[in-house]
Amino acid sequence: MTSVVLITGAATGIGNLTARALAAAGHTVYASMLDVAGRSREHARELEDTAKSEGWDLRVVELDVQSQRSAETAVATVLDERGRLDTVVHNAGHLYIGYVEAFTPADVQRLFDINTVGIQRVNRAVLPHMRHNHGGTLLYVGSTTSVVLPPFLGPYVASKIAADALAQATAYEVGQFGIETTIVMPGPFTQGTDHFPNASRAGDEQRSHAYAALDDLVASLGGAVEALFSTDAHPRAVADEIVRILALPPGTRPFRSVVDFTDAGVEQVNDVLFEAQRRFNNRLGFGDLMPNWA
């Protein structure tokens, strides 16, 4: 089953791999990214050239998740050109590494604005169309760190937990309009993405220096993650899982899917959490709002 898909943060990493994988599977893909004419120009050109040579139905579109106007414009472009928008893949995100105290309130606000509020902006742009059509899919690229919290990623993890909660709460409501939700939870990857190389550091260098005794631990984070891999871990596996999920018939797609090579036990925690939520919402009288676990 093919669909019209809008992907946020498709310049590099998981978003870029997902755009390619979905287009190769026959979907109509709008790969969105920030500053198409500037810093993302080479990424956009490479995607467009590959799409042309492969015969893919893929186009690049400008979308800044920190701008409601940009989100509205991107969605309007898809609807004007295709007449429908079936799926949004919420992938845009940024990583912070460092000591929580050293991140200024402005640092944390910026990260939440990208990783959490950006989702809300895009949803507000697309949901009127999906509600009108009584159908569609919101697919969120979350993180296993919202369940198993590693050190030295405090603001990032907090933003991903907030985004996960927003996705769940939204699912209760939009599900009543035939709109499905899936949260794909990748584990950590140390290759195939610019997430770690492009990570931001804390804005207060003086506070960071106060934690200098822990610097070696921060520097060892990537190696510690790689030591957990039971096999070669590449984010292409996340793109493949998204393709698999969107190929499933509506009503059979999983609410959560974990793609993790570190054996962190996130699936088991998810099962317990969902059952607790199901019982609680049933007691409230809102059990019918619960999404299908599948």
Active site residues: 156
Q: How far apart are alpha carbons 58 and 24 in whole angstroms? A: 9
Q: How far apart are alpha carbons 224 and 216 in whole angstroms? A: 12
Question: Torsion angle, CA of 217/222/226/227, rounded to 10 degrees?
Answer: -10
Q: How far apart are alpha carbons 265 and 258 in whole angstroms? A: 10
140 contacts 169 by C-beta, under 8 angstroms: no
3-class DSSP state of 34: coil
- Written as six digits, the tokens of 227 are 């030591």
193 contacts 13 by C-beta, under 8 angstroms: yes
